[in-house]
Amino acid sequence: MDFNKAIFTLFLIFGAMVVDENVKMVSGKLCPQICYDAGYMTCPCSGNQHLSPSCNCCMAPTGCTIYNANGTPICTAP
C-alpha cells in the first residue's frame, strides 16, 4: 500500500510540474513573424535619438516607437 501512495504522490508532483510549465508558455508573448521596412526607432530612454529599428514592435523594448523613413510612426511597443 505504501508503494501505491508513493507512486500517486510522484504522479501528482509530475502533474503539477507539467501544469506549471504550460502556464508559463501561455503567458509568453506571441510575436508576428513580420519585419517592417522601418527607417529608425526612438525610445524613452534615449530621448529623440534615432536608433536602429527592431524588426517589429513586439521585439522592440517597451515604449519604443518604430518609424518609416519619412517619419510616420508604424507602431509603439507595449
Per-residue pLDDT at 23: 44
Count up the domains in the chain and report the number: 1
Q: How far is CA 78 from the centre of its chain?
A: 10
Backbone angles phi, psi at 26, to 5 degrees: -65, -35
Q: Give domain status of residue 7, yes or no.
A: no
The confidence band for 10, taking pLDDT boundaries of 50, 70 and 90, is low
Q: Give domain status of residue 48, yes or no.
A: yes
Q: Give domain status of residue 75, yes or no.
A: yes
Check: pTM over 0.85? Answer yes or no. Answer: no
| Structural domain range at position 52 | 31-78
Q: Give domain status of residue 12, yes or no.
A: no
pLDDT digits (tens, 9 = 90+) for 13-61: 666 555 454 444 444 667 878 899 999 999 999 988 999 999 999 889 9
Q: Give me the CATH number covering residue 68.
A: 3.30.60.30
Q: Give domain status of residue 2, yes or no.
A: no
Q: Give domain status of residue 13, yes or no.
A: no
